[in-house]
Amino acid sequence: MSQSLTFRVTIDTGNAAFGCNSEPPCDAMQACDYRNQETARILRRIADRLDAGEAFSKYETLLDANGNDVGRAAFKPTENPQQPTRGSRR
């Protein structure tokens, strides 16, 4: 039986590439076009790298549009493998 893996992605959206230029400024949880677009761009870049065959076996650095280090992505062993559930848990 093969080992269960989890794909972990962490993106810090606290810098200028994710900035919200609205008046009044967006709060941390409010939808923001710039934050959404930059996050989507980074996720598409990850998908392109996976399609190209990159292993992501160690944490890979994620860069924003300005070239800043904003996170990591990697396949890691699942600590407590369980069957995935559907929907949200409350």
Q: Which residues touch 42 (CB under 8 Å, ≥6 apart)?
A: 11, 62, 63, 64, 70, 71
For residues 57 and 74, is the Cβ–Cβ distance under 8 A? yes
User: Would you state the pLDDT for residue 30?
Assistant: 58
Residues recorded for the chain = 90
Token duo for residue 32 = 């923001």
pLDDT given at position 79 = 81
- Dump pLDDT digits (tens) for 3-32: 899 999 999 988 888 876 555 555 555 567
> Is 13 within the bounds of a domain?
yes
Tell me which of 80 and 48 has the higher pLDDT.
48
Judge whether 41 lies within some domain.
yes
pLDDT at 21: 57
Does 62 map to a domain? yes
* 72 vs 33: which has the higher pLDDT: 72
Please give the residue range of the domain that contains residue 24.
Answer: 5-77
Mean pLDDT of the chain: 83
Residue 54, in any domain of the structure = yes
